[in-house]
Amino acid sequence: MNHAPQAWDLNPQLDIADVGCGVDLSTRDIASLIMGLYGKELPLLRMKAVDPFHYFFAVAEVFQAEADAMKTGTPKISVEYIHGLGKNTIFPDDSLDLYTIQVMKHELPDSATIAVVAEVFRVLRPGGVFAMLEAHPRGDGNREFTPRNRCS
């Protein structure tokens, strides 16, 4: 995010999709990072969390309620949960400023990856950013990749 487009500074709102969000931890990390970058000049964040599994959304809503209950004086993060796949989202053309995929690519066959990237190009606004994070299968990060409570 250190390389966020300068055009974002002029935008009063940012539309962000976190595709393959799971239980929403990555979505909240993205929102927190952007909140940290902008401080009091924070644009309106319209976060959309997309996943094919409804169960994850039930867990995410519990995490959201716990996190919001702990916050005092800081903006709460509003997230819209959307049941769907990255290869055919419900987003209109040119509607997103940031489209993220985190630790999901390894789950996709090549044909689905190609479809997801085509969808990214359809839904990103001019100057939008596509960010994909994937762990190296033999990297040190996988040794530390354990579930943890990140609401605190």
| Three-state SS annotation for 65-76 | HHHHHHCCCCCC
What CATH number did the domain enclosing 52 receive?
Answer: 3.40.50.150
Taking only the tens place, the pLDDT of each residue in 114-139 is 888 899 999 999 989 888 877 666 66
pLDDT of the residue at 30? 83
Q: What are phi and psi of 37, to 5 degrees?
A: -70, -40
pLDDT, mean over the chain: 76
pLDDT of the residue at 138? 63
In a domain, 148, yes or no: no
pLDDT of the residue at 93? 96
Mean pLDDT of 84-111: 84
CB neighbour list of residue 13: distance below 8 Å, 6 or more residues apart: 43, 44, 45, 46
> Residue 68: which domain range?
12-137
In a domain, 5, yes or no: no
pLDDT band at 72 (very low <50, low <70, confident <90, very high): low
In a domain, 152, yes or no: no
In a domain, 19, yes or no: yes
Taking only the tens place, the pLDDT of each residue in 14-59 is 899 998 888 777 888 888 888 777 776 776 788 898 988 888 888 8
Place of tokens 């819209």: 80
In a domain, 70, yes or no: yes
* DSSP annotation string for the chain: -TT--GGGGG-SEEEEEEET-TTTHHHHHHHHHHHHHHGGGPPEEEEEEEES-HHHHHHHHHHHHHHHHH-SSSPPPPEEEEE--TTS-SPPTT-EEEEEEES-GGGS-HHHHHHHHHHHHHHEEEEEEEEEE---TTSHHHHT--------
Whole-number Cα distances in Å, 40 to 13, 30, 44, 70: 14, 17, 11, 20
In a domain, 149, yes or no: no
In a domain, 151, yes or no: no
Residue 29 near residue 35 (C-beta atoms within 8 A) = no
pLDDT of the residue at 147? 45
Domain count, the chain: 1
In a domain, 4, yes or no: no
Mean pLDDT of 64-87: 74
